[in-house]
Amino acid sequence: MRFTDNELNSLRLAVKDKLSPRRYNHTLGVERAAAMIAEKCAKEPISEIRAAALLHDITKEFSHEEQLVLIEKYQIKVTESDLMSPETLHALTASPYIIENYPHFADELVLSAISCHTVGRPDMDVAEAIIFVADFIEEGRTYDVSVRLREKLYSELDKSGSILNMVLALCCAVIESITCTVSHLEEQSMFVHPVTLLTRDAFIKRRDEILRLVDSGKRT
């Protein structure tokens, strides 16, 4: 185990001190959801996933001006699309902020999962996909789409299927959470980050590949 229970407890206290009560409760919800999914999906490294969940929104409550100051301070490369999606900038500012302020937790998995938790990334691995989905479906999310997706994913994970089936359920959850986000943005005539669309297409391809594997397994 990369991080001990004591280390994770002190991280919870540090994060609690930094975030509003609402954001802290959301953070704990993401941690619980992510740990639960991780236990089912290919024995992902749970302590790193917990740390990633605890730190994923650590810069979320900074103002837009503060995000821009951090981008300048840490010389973060941002695209025009990133700047057109200001709500996603905290995923980019979090990594260098964590390296500076929480160096013990600046683990590769932690930083990579946090860096793609808002817009996604076409080649997200299982741990990254877990944080991405957990952020959308944690129990504090009460939108109909989040509740529906949470119930659907948890019921799939409750079935005692193969790890391949668990990863398939996770893959479908990534696709559906992006579809919901994109529809919401389009309804509001808002900009959709192109990486989000590329991520959805990549996961549709990955889902279809897993379905073929599951099918061929049934036939043999």
Nearer to Fe ion, 28 or 106 (CB): 28
Nearer to Fe ion, 128 or 135 (CB): 135
CA 69 to chain centre: 24
Smallest distance, Fe ion to C-beta of residue 43, A: 24
Smallest distance, Fe ion to C-beta of residue 90, A: 9
* 45 secondary structure, DSSP code: -
Residue whose tokens read 């109909």: 144
What would the two tokens of residue 207 be?
A: 């889902």
Say whether residue 57 binds Fe ion (CB under 5 A): yes
Dist CA 128 CA 113 (whole Å): 4
Q: Choose one: 7-15, 82-90, 135-143, 203-211; the region binding Fe ion (CB under 5 A).
A: 135-143
Nearer to Fe ion, 88 or 165 (CB): 88
The angle subtended at Cα 167 by Cα 56 and Cα 58, nearest 5°, is 0
Q: Choose one: 49-57, 91-99, 140-148, 163-171; the region binding Fe ion (CB under 5 A).
A: 49-57
User: Angle, nearest 10°, between helix axes 194-219 and 163-187?
Assistant: 150
The pair phi, psi for residue 185, each rounded to 5°, is -65, -40
Query: Where does 41-162 have alpha helices with state H?
Result: 46-55, 64-73, 80-84, 89-101, 108-115, 126-137, 144-158
Say whether residue 138 binds Fe ion (CB under 5 A): no
Nearer to Fe ion, 26 or 206 (CB): 26
Say whether residue 48 binds Fe ion (CB under 5 A): no
Dist CA 99 CA 92 (whole Å): 12
Nearer to Fe ion, 28 or 164 (CB): 28
Dist CA 84 CA 178 (whole Å): 18
Number of residues that bind Fe ion (CB under 5 A): 2
Smallest distance, Fe ion to C-beta of residue 111, A: 16
Residue whose tokens read 């840490």: 74
* 143 secondary structure, DSSP code: S
Say whether residue 135 binds Fe ion (CB under 5 A): yes
Smallest distance, Fe ion to C-beta of residue 30, A: 6
Q: Choose one: 56-64, 100-108, 151-159, 202-210; the region binding Fe ion (CB under 5 A).
A: 56-64
Nearer to Fe ion, 53 or 168 (CB): 53
Say whether residue 31 binds Fe ion (CB under 5 A): no
Smallest distance, Fe ion to C-beta of residue 152, A: 20
The residues of the shown chain that bind Fe ion, judged by CB under 5 A, are 57, 135
